[in-house]
Amino acid sequence: MSDKSFDVIVIGAGPGGYVAAIRAAQLGLRTACVEKRETLGGTCLNVGCIPSKAMLQASEKYHEAADGILEKFGVKTGKVSLDLETFHGHTKKVVGDNTKGIEFLFKKNKVSWLKGSASFVGEREIQIGKTRYKAEKGIIIATGSDVASLPDVTIDEKRIVSSTGALSLDKVPEKMVVIGGGYIGLEMGSVWQRLGAEVTVVEYLDRILPGMDEEISKQMLRVLSKQGLKFKLGHKVEEVKSGKNAASLRITPAKGGDTEKLEADIVLVAVGRKAYTEGLSLDKIGVKTNERGLIITDAHWQTNVKGVYAIGDVIAGPMLAHKAEEEGVAVAEILAGQSGHVNYDVIPGVVYTWPEAAQIGKTEEQLKSDGISYKVGKFPYTANGRARAMQATEGFVKILADRKTDRILGVHILGAEAGTLIAEAALAMEFGATAQDVALTCHAHPTLSEIVKEAALAVDGRALHM
């Protein structure tokens, strides 16, 4: 017999978990959320999305002042120096404010925070320490993901670090090697490059940002190279050794060739993430996982065990906080007797470098592979008045629309505030809008959003300002 009972128990208080818990409580369900950290928010708020964005923002400010960018606006700064302690202090405050905010929301919505690690002891029954808890309607697994590494590479968070260790380096490294040219590697590499490190990115594939539209990938490579990042594309890491004063790497061309040696003060391993289900004892109740360790669910996020659900990074799909949130809301609504739905065709992805890159829907490569006939509309930032005023003319908006129906199939943006601009595309695609629908929508002037309108007009070859 359980010591305590709830309607819904959520395991994990990251974006997917805490949002699921809040939504379930809003719907009148007695809800508990299990979290073993001392603070709520999971990886995202504590050592992921939020602190990295705080560092990106702070490093952009430093770069603008130190590299004379502000002088283009008539702002004379004089000699600029970096106070790394205050820099990290800004990040810690942002994290603290956000995690405390979730505590407030839990209290407001009467969500019980069960502190500790949960393991299954039966269907819809878990144990934390010596106490058992029962969920009458369902348990939602939202334990997220952990850092993935390379074979025979030991992450010590001192000289060979993960994204977590890269958030709190006690000094700016002279040389940094980033293994992995995806979102995390480019973002954290950009932070430390702006602060003065010489950064080299080693990527196994022959391009960075492999999941994005190839044109965005190529332009981003050009832009980041111009900023000072160095790239070793199409290279495989054979060995990483941590020494007293530096780390050494051996890399070879992925297609074969001579070995090259690199040295760095810090090596950042950013090769992806893996589902985190450690300690859950899924085998005790027979929850099935696939060969990658991801929990297998049906179309309604239920596992093969009735009443046990899973969302976010522990199931298939992009490992994105906002994807997890949408799933969390959907499952909470299902448990409350409503219908929950997530449109996986309109999940945006954003890279928070400078400039940002954002995308939603299909890439050109995917449309070609699927044999779909499409039209392309592009418009550059250089032709936008607000972008000129911001000294942010790098980039473009690209809209892909069905050649027959004009329905928007994908939107790809490289440029200032791309992560914000992509929201219009998400809304348009969610409601099945055509490129003409966006083109006919009045956009405020002068704004960057006008670039989206012009790209929509360009789908039919009638952009006004180019």
Residue 3 is predicted with a pLDDT of 59
d(CA 441, CA 432): 15
Residue 244 is predicted with a pLDDT of 87
Catalytic residue among 300, 341, 445, 465: 445
Element (H, E) at 128: strand 125-128
d(CA 250, CA 238): 5
Strands 4-11 and 273-275: unpaired
Signed CA dihedral, 405, 409, 415, 417: sign only: positive
Element (H, E) at 436: helix 435-439
Is 244 exposed, middle or buried, given 0-12, 13-18 or 19+ CB atoms closer than 10 A? Answer: exposed
Yes or no: say if 197 and 267 are a contact pair by the CB < 8 Å rule.
no
Those residues with Cβ within 8 angstroms of residue 365's Cβ, 6 or more apart along the chain or in another chain: 213, 214
For every residue of 6-30, DSSP letters joined together read EEEEEE--SHHHHHHHHHHHHTT--
| Distances 127 to 26, 157, 307, 347 between C-alpha atoms, Å | 25, 31, 16, 35
Domains of the chain as residue ranges with CATH: 4-147+274-342 (3.50.50.60), 160-271 (3.50.50.60), 346-458 (3.30.390.30)
Catalytic residue list contains 465: no
Residue 32 is predicted with a pLDDT of 98
Under DSSP, is residue 215 helix (H, G, I), strand (E, B) or coil? helix
Ordered mean pLDDT values, 10 residues apiece, the chain (466 residues): 82 98 98 98 97 98 94 93 98 98 98 98 96 98 97 94 97 98 98 98 97 97 98 97 94 96 98 97 97 97 98 98 98 97 97 98 98 98 98 98 98 98 98 98 98 98 96
Yes or no: say if 386 and 450 are a contact pair by the CB < 8 Å rule.
yes
Please give the structure tokens belonging to residue 417.
Answer: 């505030």
Long-range pairs of 61-67 with CB within 8 A, sequence gap ≥ 24: 62/87, 62/194, 62/195, 63/194, 63/354
